[in-house]
Structure 1
Amino acid sequence: MCTDLPSVPSAEDEVLAELRRRLVREAVAALPGRCPQLVAALVEDPPPTYRELSRRLGMPRGSIGPTRARCLACLRTLLHGERYA
């Protein structure tokens, strides 16, 4: 048996993956303030620099890191809450 072949996800795996993506998109959209734009920027490829984010979001560079942490904590709470369980 050849073990080098890539595994093909089952239809159930694909449906569950799409459900997870949809739940994350909904949770990001529910974040307060600039969080949706900041979180969306975190997954860009390549990610923008803090200088670019500062200009784009109109916030001081020094506040991006702490804001990012708060946004991700809020996202984590939303995703672990009853609505997204």
Structure 2
Amino acid sequence: MRTDPPSHPSAEDEVLAALRRRHVREAVAALPGRCPQLVAAITEDPPPTYREISRRLGMPRGSIGPTRARCLACLRTLLRTERYG
């Protein structure tokens, strides 16, 4: 059985990945309202429940999903228009 050695990212790949992460963090910080806090919460590992997010951010549980969708749409637009990542 032949096994290939594990591939390691090149230094250039690591630098580009770090730049993408920085650009995404900057774009998230530029989002309006409580979007930065909501995006930060939903990207935690493990992600908190909607109940925990509701309590933490002081927003009704029923508004988390629609707000999340708007925040992510805004983030996608910002990343495209600002040429991040």
How high is the TM-score relative to the length of structure 1? 0.92
Matched with 1:47 is 47
Structure 2, unpaired ranges of 5+: none
Matched with 1:62 is 62
1:2 Cα deviation after fit: 4.1
Q: Which has the higher contact order (CA 8 A, sep 6+)?
A: 2
How high is the TM-score relative to the length of structure 2? 0.92
Q: d(CA) in 2 for partners of 1:12 and 1:53?
A: 37
Q: Which amino acid aligns with 2:75?
A: L
Count of residue pairs brought into register by the alignment: 84
Matched with 1:34 is 34
Provide the aligned C-alpha RMSD in A.
Answer: 1.3
Matched with 1:14 is 14
Runs of 4+ in 1 over 6 A off after TM superposition: none
Structure 1, unpaired ranges of 5+: none
